[in-house]
Amino acid sequence: MRDGFIKIGAASPQVGVAACSENKAYILDCIGQAAKRDVRVLVLPELCITGYTCGDLLLQDALIKAAADALIEIARQTAGLDMLVALGLPVAVGTGLLNCAAIVHNGDILGLVPKGHVPNYGEFYEKRHFTTWQGKTAPVDFCGRQVPLGEKQLFTCSGMPGLVIGAEICEDLWVPAPPSIAHAAAGASVVLNLSASNEVVGKAAYRRLLLKSHSARLCCAYAYADAGCGESTTDLVFGGHNIIAENGRILAETAPFETEPLAVTEVDVARIAYERRRMQMFTFKDEAYTRTAFSLAHRETRLTGRIEPYPFIPHNDDARYDDILNIQAHGLKKRWQHAKSKCVLVGVSGGLDSTLALLVADKAAKLLGRKPGDIMAVTMPCFGTTALTRDNALALCESMQVPCQTVDITLAVKRHLQDIGQPADVLDVTYENAQARERTQVLMDLANRYNGLVAGTGDLSELALGWATYNGDHMSMYAVNASIPKTLVRHMVAHIAATTENAALQNALLAILDTPISPELLPARDGKITQRTEDLIGPYALHDFFLYHMVRWGASPAKLLRLACLAFNGEYDKPTIKKWLRVFITRFFTQQFKRSCMPDGPKVGTVSLSPRGDWRMPSDAEFSAWEMPE
């Protein structure tokens, strides 16, 4: 439960049609198996105590009573078990019969939630047997005990405030306005669906799509338990297709007809709460709901799902790289058109960021019907420039047929340092930043001279860390890489290298990919790069991971550390991760002033640090609440 994680299961126990006593044993065995896997919330199928396909036997007193007796015994045997269980049965109320989800915890029946939409089409003639509950939630007599009955019920965990559970049954999800919409609006972070959905060709794919989109729309976790093969009788076949989704992602699934009856995963209710807080789309003011509290022992949820170490990188989706390049290029195209510029200038260093910026400029030129000659590449060698990066830059421009101008800034920087009284042998931040600012001045002045537009090369990771010289490489007229993190920059360049038909361009890109990341602001030694960025500020893989989970999902430093240790297990140890996490937090807060006046740039993904839209933060915010403990 620490950090908002809770383990949820969806299962399809074996079912004997109309065999309540046998089904009780199957259900208890399934609950036991879930407990062994540390499941804290378990959902079972619709009418699993009796079987869904009982037909007119559902109207018989004998079956209704047998189901009620079985539920009482199942509830009794959950006493002392640290788990909430939702399971289905028919419940007689007055002269009507309801298809209900029973919510069971620690020996008690916390509530009965009736199916809101009873179908009467195709092979599903439920209205022959079941009615709908028209009243408000109210206690009813169930086997001598008073149990709340009603659709509008939520079950809240007292030890984990973010865990609020609502339930609906099968068809409720397929209608235009599912009850879960109201559940979520009233605060439910987890929705349980007890279902008996038969298999026909194409239905499994539709089911997946439905759950992904519905969990995204409600920004919730959605656990769906389907009737298994034991239900298959007469004209219907059931496959036990259990799915657990969270906010648009399927986290766990048992495919139809698998022998494994139990899908288990961890959902992050803290992440759900953060996203809802950010979206401001839920009012949580529906007083018509009955809220029943339950408690779970507070213990750490062991995380078994894969934590993606590179959250910004598209996986098994090469089309995403083309989408990203298109967004960048169309943004630059608009600025180019609007400014009525004759050309776009890019300072090329032979490194990854400027390479991607030049590729974006080339794409924008093509969109505008311009020639490569309408792009002006500028190399500006100085104290730390090596033959390797210079040759990279020149080969890149030549392969793209982009004219490249070389402006050696060495003498200009030396004169500037002399003018301000900086000793020539003091290689400090003044020495370094003077070069970055001189390069920006050259680009801006050339833009004035040729009526051009300076495309910025700095990336999202550099913005997050403040790894840019204020009013140096920090500044441009349009920052095309502003929402592309460093890890993605590398993959973008690699993708273009792998897919281009231009052999010269491919060779140039591969050489750049093989070059260490460096600002090259300190003198080279024996012609080799002496300044490696990741030695100074830490691995970009870690920083991009921290950035994604902190900005996108509001993860605390402790949670960042926990997730990173799992994601990078075997690559970085915990002390190393903690060290660079401290660096990330310190730099993220102290360098906000650079982001507060950053230039325009295209938003590409869900994480952006633009002060005009996605990330609004005071430049002088304290970060004591985010400090890492020793």
The residues annotated with a catalytic role in the active site are: 46, 115, 170
Q: At what angle do helices 486-499 and 319-339 cross, to 10 degrees?
A: 100
- Distance from CA of residue 286 to its chain's centroid? 29
C-alpha neighbours within 13 Å on the C-beta side of residue 219: 18
Q: Are 317 and 279 in contact (CB under 8 A)?
A: no
The single-letter code of the amino acid at 534 is E
458-470: buried (b, 16+ CB within 10 Å) or exposed (e) per residue?
Answer: bbbbbbbbbbbbe
Nearest-angstrom CA–CA distance, 386 and 520: 8
Alpha helices in 122-256 (DSSP H): 179-185, 203-218
Count of residues in the chain:
630
Q: Are 301 and 5 in contact (CB under 8 A)?
A: yes
Nearest-angstrom CA–CA distance, 40 and 190: 12
Alpha helices in 466-539 (DSSP H): 486-499, 503-513, 533-537
72-106: buried (b, 16+ CB within 10 Å) or exposed (e) per residue?
Answer: bebbebbeebebbbbbbbbbbbeeebbbbbbbbbb
Q: Which residue has the tokens 């009233």?
A: 186
- Burial status of residue 511 (CB atoms within 10 A of its CB: 0-12, 13-18, 19 or more): middle
Q: Are 228 and 12 in contact (CB under 8 A)?
A: yes
148 forms beta bridges with 139
Residue 233 is classified by DSSP as B
- Alpha-carbon distances of 514 from 216, 459, 507, rounded to whole Å: 40, 19, 11
